[in-house]
Amino acid sequence: MARAAAFVALAALLAGLGAVTAVSGVAGAVASGPATHPPATGTTQTPLSVWSGVYTAEQADRGAPLYEVECGECHGPSLEGGETAPALAGADFRWAWNGLSVGDLFERLCVSMPEGRPRALTRAQKVDVLAYMLRENAFPAGDAELPSRGSRLDAIAFEALAP
Ligand code: HEC
């Protein structure tokens, strides 16, 4: 008996709460305007991708010898891949990263490459190697260097196909 009464009381309380939140929800929507705000990233800007010219030729030139010394042994002198290490250029590589970001790729280098001694290169050097990898994948060079800030690299989409 007591339990049944408590249940009824609880149900009434919940119903009351529901009514209150429904009302305040309406009030909130009215106060703050339409609920569909545009995403904070801003869709009006042209989205950046690897096809936008996001590194410079000089930067890729700086990355080339670093690649040769620190990566080529495993990934092949022409980024074609080796016995255990995958290719870092070509269609398979591009499709493997399609839909991710250059930031994701950079993160991969920062965390684990060169394999076994990821501290062998500084962040700036890894960005140069990344620029070289982009060039070897036939993505166009541009006027500005690839930045080393993770948040800015995250904003560059990795797309296998030219838009
Ligand atoms: C000692 C060998 C070795 C060296 C040196 C090395 N890698 Fe790797 N790398 C590997 C192996 C093995 C894998 C695959 C296993 C894994 O994902 O960890 C790999 C995976 C990767 C991947 C992920 C590829 C994909 O599509 O999933 C990237 C990117 C990469 N390496 C970049 C580099 C770069 C850039 C350097 C030089 C700074 C480097 N690696 C140096 C062995 C190496």
Domains of the chain, residue spans: 1-32, 57-154
Q: Report the pLDDT value the prediction gives residue 41, as an integer from 0 to 100.
A: 52
150 lines ligand 1 (CB under 6 A): no
Which residue positions in the chain have pLDDT lower than 70?
Answer: 1-45
Q: Exposed (0-12), middle (13-18) or buried (19+): which is 11, by Cβ within 10 Å?
A: exposed
131 lines ligand 1 (CB under 6 A): no
Instruction: List CB contacts of 157: < 8 A, sequence separation 6 or more.
Output: 47, 48, 49, 50, 99, 101, 102
Q: How much distance in Å is there from the Cα of 52 to the middle of ligand 1?
A: 25
Q: Which pair of structure tokens corresponds to residue 57?
A: 């030729």
Instruction: List CB contacts of 60: < 8 A, sequence separation 6 or more.
Output: 128, 131, 132, 134, 135, 141
pLDDT in tens, 23-51: 444 444 444 444 554 455 545 567 899 99
Q: What stretches of 33-76 show up as alpha helix (H) in DSSP? A: 57-70, 72-75
Question: What's the chain's average pLDDT?
Answer: 84
Nearest atom within ligand 1 for CA of residue 117: 5
113 lines ligand 1 (CB under 6 A): yes
Residue 20 CA to its chain's centroid (Å): 41
73 lines ligand 1 (CB under 6 A): yes
Candidate of 74, 79, 117 to mutate for ligand 1, largest count of ligand atoms within 8 Å of Cβ: 74
Instruction: List CB contacts of 3: < 8 A, sequence separation 6 or more.
Output: none
Q: What is the CATH number of domain 57-154?
A: 1.10.760.10
88 lines ligand 1 (CB under 6 A): yes
What's the whole-model pTM score?
0.78
Q: Specify the DSSP element, H or E, that contains 108.
A: helix 102-112
